[in-house]
């Protein structure tokens, strides 16, 4: 099992994007399920009634157009094109009753849809 927390050399600390302890713990759990996983890729997609939706997926490599960010033992890969859009975002992992979800709180958000799937900047 790969231990991502030891791979901290040459990583940049987050500036403007925050992971809660719960989010980091859950992300590390998902990353460590496969030794080929290197981190989490964050992206956005035009979607929903408010404008944008966050897309999160496991990443096995860094793409050329991405930067690699590090926080709480977790590696995130984010395209340079969308980094400014994600600036000010906090990612949390919430467990409520039978539901378990990543929750995105964005300080620059102007509006969000009722279901919480999309947001407007």
Instruction: Find the helix or strand (DSSP H, E) in which 59 lies.
Output: strand 51-59
Q: Is residue 4 part of a domain?
A: no
Q: Extract the tokens encoding 41.
A: 């890729």
Q: Is residue 3 part of a domain?
A: no
Binned at pLDDT 50, 70 and 90, residue 23 comes out as very high
Q: Is residue 5 part of a domain?
A: no
pTM value? Answer: 0.74
pLDDT, tens digit, for every residue of 47-95? 656 567 788 999 999 999 999 988 888 999 999 898 888 888 889 999 9
N- to C-terminal Cα separation, the chain: 39
CATH of the domain at 59: 2.60.300.12
Which residue range forms the structural domain that includes residue 52?
11-120
Q: Is residue 36 part of a domain?
A: yes
- Total structural domains within the chain: 1
Q: Is residue 35 part of a domain?
A: yes
Around Cβ 101, how many Cβ atoms within 10 Å? Answer: 12
Binned at pLDDT 50, 70 and 90, residue 121 comes out as very low
């Amino acid at each position: 099992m790969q231990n991502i927390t030891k791979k901290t050399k040459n990583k940049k600390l987050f500036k403007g994007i925050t992971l809660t302890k719960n989010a980091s713990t859950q992300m590390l759990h998902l990353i460590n399920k496969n030794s080929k996983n290197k981190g989490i890729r964050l992206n956005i997609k035009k979607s929903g009634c408010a404008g944008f939706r966050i897309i999160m997926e496991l990443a096995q490599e860094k793409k050329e157009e991405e930067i690699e960010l590090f926080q709480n033992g977790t590696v995130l890969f984010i395209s340079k094109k969308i980094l400014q859009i994600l600036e000010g975002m906090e990612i949390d992992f919430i467990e409520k009753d039978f539901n378990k979800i990543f929750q995105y709180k964005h300080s620059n958000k102007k509006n969000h849809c009722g279901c919480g799937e999309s947001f407007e900047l």
